[in-house]
Structure 1
Amino acid sequence: MTVDPESPEAGLALFDALQTDEGDVVGEWTAKTRPALEPAWAAQSSRWNTVVELTVDELHALNESTEALLEPFINRSREDQPQGVRPVRLLRYVLPGVADPHE
């Protein structure tokens, strides 16, 4: 989900509503799902908390590239899914920082 820079209020309100509605997705997964996973699947779980220095254009390109990378998996039909697929939740937060006033 991206926010329209021309009128961010509605997008930010939706962002906040989704955040509230989703609750503690990670905590619930950790308590309920992870203990039932086979070792190969549990080994593929991961968490990233990476800060990168980007321009607004680079961030836009990164968001577009990520969406393009996921698109074939999101839009494939059941008939096109290989044997052994299962749902995998990918949580992606893109949280720009405030500009440094000393620069």
Structure 2
Amino acid sequence: MTILNASTFEVTGTEPSYREGETRETGTIEATLGGKVKRVAAVRYDNGHIVSWDFTGRYRTGTKAWPATVSIREDGREHVWYGKDHHTGRCQKNGLSFA
């Protein structure tokens, strides 16, 4: 199951992209976490890549809430980023929530 539902992206405006001469669409998208559906802010790039920054993530053994990003790439794969990219057993990521 994916977090972001790409088919629900609704455009509210456009703005310059980080690539010169390109634009990106701003808007909202439906996200599902723990059975709850919420509409969150997102952007869609010219290549179809969708990104939302309306999440927080936690490590299994930590208490700090890290800003989190969820994205859907052009190939349909979804990625979640937050905190540091540790590859040790004690730094396992397991908690994503709405910001």
Give yes or no for TM over 0.5: no
- Choose 1 or 2 for highest CA Rg: 1
- TM-score range normalised by the length of the shorter chain: under 0.3
TM-score, length-scaled by structure 2: 0.22
- Which of the two has greater helix per residue? 1
By relative contact order (CA 8 Å, sep 6+), the higher-ranking structure is: 2
- Which of the two has greater strand per residue? 2
TM-score, length-scaled by structure 1: 0.22
